[in-house]
Amino acid sequence: METCILEPTKKNILKAVEVLNSNGVIGMPTETVYGLAAVGYDSKAVKKIFEIKGRPADNPLIAHVHKDFDLSLLVHIENSYAYSLIKSFMPGPLTLVFKSKGVVCKEAVAGGDTLAIRMPMHKDCQNLLKEINKPLVAPSANLSKHTSPVTAMHVKNDLDGKISIILDGGKCSGGIESTVLDVTGPVPRILRAGLITKEMIESVVGACEIAMHKEGDKVKSPGVKYTHYKPKCDTALFTEDNLEELVKVYNNYVENGKTPYVMCKNSVAKKLGNLNFLLLGETEEEVAFNLYDSLLLGEKKADVILAVAMPNEKGVNMGIMNRLKKSCGVV
Ligand code: TXA
Ligand code: MG
């Protein structure tokens, strides 16, 4: 099958809707990362998502809906604080996990009794969701374990020949996946950190927990137990107070005829002098925006990416560090 990257014109959105309504799967833009979408009621199409990605069947998918979609058609909203979160952060890069009403097919929720819902704010994604008027379940549009795609070309590089259409909505403005928040309990719990931070959630609903995954625990968000986000080259992670060690390792690679790249914030690069760099910008938002693009550029140019950790794990840095550690195989 030929994979076409299409501008998100009205005509092409109708083409995508036609594919989706005939048990098909497409690549779609969102403001976080690109998704691999199918109609959430369609078991046959949803199974294709798992096949195409090589995704374990026990890892559930997020249902994406239009901003005017009535969530109560799909889930039970049991806690009133969830309404405040919806009002404050949706549409946007927040996914809420509710008790499911069982309308979305069981393959999509991996047989579980909860459903994760997100309202992307990306304009072209909203247009697609409006036109189809059904929930689209979508994981990130990468092969399982690989770095998530933030451009249509990244999707094509991973899934060429496996899907017919990728709608090109430009480079994702957010750059890391949505915050996944369990709202089935008395206090919301972050299952995956992202651009909607713990601090932002607390400012709206007072309290917010972070799910900790200890060995032997029942995993609440199955995705977090898999290795993830790995570029195809080697990776290593250094802290900002260990730059001497980083330079030693860098020089060692060079002496062995290899090409290392240092992935770090601009201000850290200034301290390091004249090396190969993948620059992440300076603010948390810039780093999130550049992170996957840099990893995917790095795997093309470098034998090894030597990444420098963020100075803390607060705010958006919590989500950034979660991805960075996994892509460097640290956790
Ligand atoms: O930003 C995003 O969330 C992107 C875009 C495409 O929307 N999607 C995305 O999907 O990152 P995926 O499948 O790569 O990651 C979804 C995460 C996984 O960790 C999965 O285990 C978790 O959400 N998840 C999905 N449904 C869940 C549920 N019912 N309960 C708990 N965790 C769930
Ligand atoms: Mg993913």
Closest CA to 93 of 194, 209, 213, 204: 194
- At 10 the three-state DSSP class reads helix
Q: Which atom of ligand 1 has the smallest separation from the CA of 64?
A: 7
pLDDT for res 106: 97
Task: From 180, 228, 292, 331, give the residue whose CB has the most ligand 1 atoms within 8 Å, as the site to mutate.
Answer: 180
Question: pLDDT tens-digit profile of 104-146?
Answer: 999 999 999 999 999 999 999 999 999 999 999 999 999 999 9
User: Mutation test of ligand 1: which of 148, 177, 190 has the most ligand atoms closer than 8 Å to its C-beta?
Assistant: 177
CATH fold of 4-210 reads DHBP synthase (3.90.870)
Q: What residues flank ion ligand 2 with Cβ within 5 A?
A: 140
Report, as an integer, the average pLDDT of 166-177.
Answer: 98
Q: Cβ distance 172 to 150 under 8 Å?
A: yes
Number of H helices, E strands in the chain: 10, 16
**Ligand 2 mean position to 243 CA, how many Å?**
31
| pLDDT score, position 216 | 46
Ligand 1: residues within 6 Å at CB?
A: 30, 32-33, 35, 59-62, 95, 97, 109, 112, 114-116, 118, 138-140, 177-178, 180, 191-192, 220-224
CATH 2.60.40.10 fits 234-327, yes or no: no
Task: Kindly provide the b/e burial profile for residues 157-180, where b requires at least 16 CB atoms within 10 angstroms of the residue's own CB.
Answer: bbbeebbbbbbbbebbbbbbbbbb
Angle at 184 between CA 183 and CA 190, to 5 degrees: 40
Ligand 1 nearest atom to the CA of residue 112, by list position: 29
Start-to-end CA distance of the chain, whole Å, equals 37
pLDDT digits 0-9 by tens, 173-188:
999 999 999 999 999 9
Pick the atom of ligand 1 nearest to 93's CA: 1
Pick from 167, 155, 162: nearest CA to 125? 167
Nearest to residue 8, comparing CAs of 177, 130, 136, 123? 123
Task: Tell whether the torsion through CA atoms of 251, 253, 254 and 260 is positive or negative.
Answer: negative
User: What's residue 330's pLDDT?
Assistant: 84
Q: What is the pLDDT of residue 331?
A: 76
d(CA 103, CA 146): 30
Prediction pTM value: 0.95
Mean pLDDT of the 50-57 span: 96
Q: Which ligand is nearest to the CA of 119?
A: 1
Residues in a beta bridge with 237: 307
The domain ranges of the chain are 4-210, 234-327
Q: How far away, in angstroms, is 71 Cα from ligand 1 center?
A: 17
Q: Report the pLDDT averaged over residues 239-259.
A: 96
pLDDT category at 215 given cuts 50, 70, 90 is very low
